[in-house]
Amino acid sequence: MKERKLKKTIQKVNLDEPSDAFTGRIMSQIDTIEDLSLEPAIAEIVKKNVATDPSEDFTSQIMAQLTPKRRVVIEPVISRKAWLWIAGVVSLILLVAIMSSRKDQITSPDPHAVIDSSVRLIRMYSQQWILFLIVICSLLLGDYFVRRKWSPVVE
């Protein structure tokens, strides 16, 4: 309580104020600092003279220290063999679909039997299909990122 009263009393006292030109002076100082442009004549001569050349055999000394970089060959995540397997599985599924459609043809001579049975087959194993698609997509994405990230060369 006492402390609050003391604070209020102190806050009643006006603080000392700097001169009216105070803010203006600071702002003009900031403006001067912001303006870093050299006088054109000086800028020109500084630009011509400030950097120093190294020795004449500088470049050849560096080049002598370098060994060729070899590109690291990143094997794709989905190998050729894996693609063959995937193609084989898809072909097998189609084959099963065709076979089952032929069986159906005996009972119902529907021209779209192959498509129907394929759709049925897909519906029957919908969960497995989704899982299969997720695996393929992940492999493709992984393949893309691995190639993109690590394809640069290392010594």
Partner 1 sequence: MKIFEDEYYIERVLQGDVSAYRFLVERYKKMVYSIALKILNDAQDAEDAAQDSFVKAYERLHTFERKSKFSTWLYTITYRLCLNKLKEMKREFTFLTEQLPKWEDGEMVLPGSFNEQDQERIIKESIQALPQQEGLLVLLYYYEEKSIREIEQITGLMASNIKIKLHRARKVLERKLSHLIEER
- Point out which residues bind partner 1 (CB under 8 A): 32-34, 36, 38-39, 41-43, 45-55, 58-59, 61-63, 65-71, 152-155
Determine contact, residues 72/149, Cβ cutoff 8 Å: no
Determine contact, residues 155/67, Cβ cutoff 8 Å: yes
3-state secondary structure of 8: helix
For partner 1, the closer of residues 21 and 41 by Cβ is 41
For partner 1, the closer of residues 47 and 112 by Cβ is 47
Min dist. Cβ of residue 64 to partner 1 (A):
10
Min dist. Cβ of residue 74 to partner 1 (A):
13
Determine contact, residues 61/78, Cβ cutoff 8 Å: no
3-state secondary structure of 70: strand
For partner 1, the closer of residues 11 and 32 by Cβ is 32
